[in-house]
């Protein structure tokens, strides 16, 4: 399998790259931090190909992906994991802030799908995983920009799955709850622990395992759906949301 993983230098992306390589797959890891990517490449060996790139530079990012597809002759898995979050009130969410959030969380994944689409549809049996958040379903105040960008990402999943189905391309939205990553820690106010014990958060490895399961076809019956991964403490709340919103195409993984 040839896999492309964005945001591969840390957190969920790095955990996914490690597990895919451990499973015998070749991973094209893309992130802005070249030093962290290089360190990961040294740890993972020849099956990990590091490419430093700002995914919000659509021209450079698209060109890199098309070149990788040519070099490897196919791409079987695209993991759109690179993303950002920022807690802002509506009053603080200027058009510039809204645009920046969308550029990374929605436009960059769309660029990746567009750049790899011809390769994936030509070879078939390919999968796209868009890493979203439970905030797309039931956001906290302060997620005006973040939640809307992740909701847009899921609609890309829905359309990509519909257009890809005749060609053997399946798309999925993976929506974790709180994951203990550097990004999550950066969002927490000073003096407040980012997680309330292991029972209330997920680890990057937890999410990576589901991504690899998707790559291996274990969730094909839910292509086009949201695969929700609430932290254990939030399972009941997410179940209530699903009951209150029937027909939403949400599968709770717990």
Q: Where are the alpha helices (DSSP H) in 88-170?
A: 95-102, 108-123, 144-164
241 is catalytic: no
Which residue is catalytic, options 48, 61, 143, 146? 146
In sequence order, what are the beta bridge partners of 171?
128
Closest CA to 118 of 156, 62, 39: 62
List the Cα angle 88/90/94 in 5-degree steps: 80
Question: What token pair was written down for 94?
Answer: 């200027």
Closest CA to 202 of 178, 183, 219, 223: 178
The rounded radius of gyration (Å) of the Cα atoms in the chain is: 17
CB 19 within 8 A of CB 205: yes
> Residues for the chain: how many in total?
254
Q: Give the pairing type, strands 169-176 and 226-229.
A: parallel
Tell me which residues are annotated as active site.
Answer: 146
């Amino acid at each position: 399998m040839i896999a492309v993983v964005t945001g591969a230098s840390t957190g969920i992306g790095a955990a996914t790259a490690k597990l895919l390589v451990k499973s015998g797959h070749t991973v094209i890891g893309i992130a802005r931090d070249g030093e962290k990517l290089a360190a990961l490449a040294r740890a993972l060996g020849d099956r990990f190909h590091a490419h430093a790139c700002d995914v919000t530079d659509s021209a450079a990012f698209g060109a890199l992906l098309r070149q990788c597809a040519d070099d490897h002759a196919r791409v079987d898995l695209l993991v759109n994991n690179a993303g950002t979050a920022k807690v802002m009130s509506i009053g603080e969410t200027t058009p510039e802030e809204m645009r920046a959030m969308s550029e990374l969380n929605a436009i960059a994944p769309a660029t990746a799908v567009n750049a790899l689409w011809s390769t994936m549809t030509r070879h078939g049996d390919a999968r796209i995983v868009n890493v979203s958040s439970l905030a797309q379903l039931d956001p906290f105040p302060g997620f005006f920009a973040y939640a809307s960008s992740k909701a847009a990402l899921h609609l890309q999943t829905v359309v990509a799955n519909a257009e890809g189905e005749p060609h053997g391309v399946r798309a999925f939205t993976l929506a974790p709850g709180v994951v203990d990553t550097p990004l999550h820690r950066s969002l927490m106010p000073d003096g407040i622990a980012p997680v309330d014990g292991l029972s209330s958060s997920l680890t990057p490895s937890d999410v990576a395992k589901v991504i690899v399961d998707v790559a291996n076809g274990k969730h094909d019956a839910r292509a086009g759906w949201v695969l929700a991964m609430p932290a254990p403490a939030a399972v009941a709340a997410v179940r209530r949301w699903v009951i209150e919103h029937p027909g939403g195409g949400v599968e709770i993984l717990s």
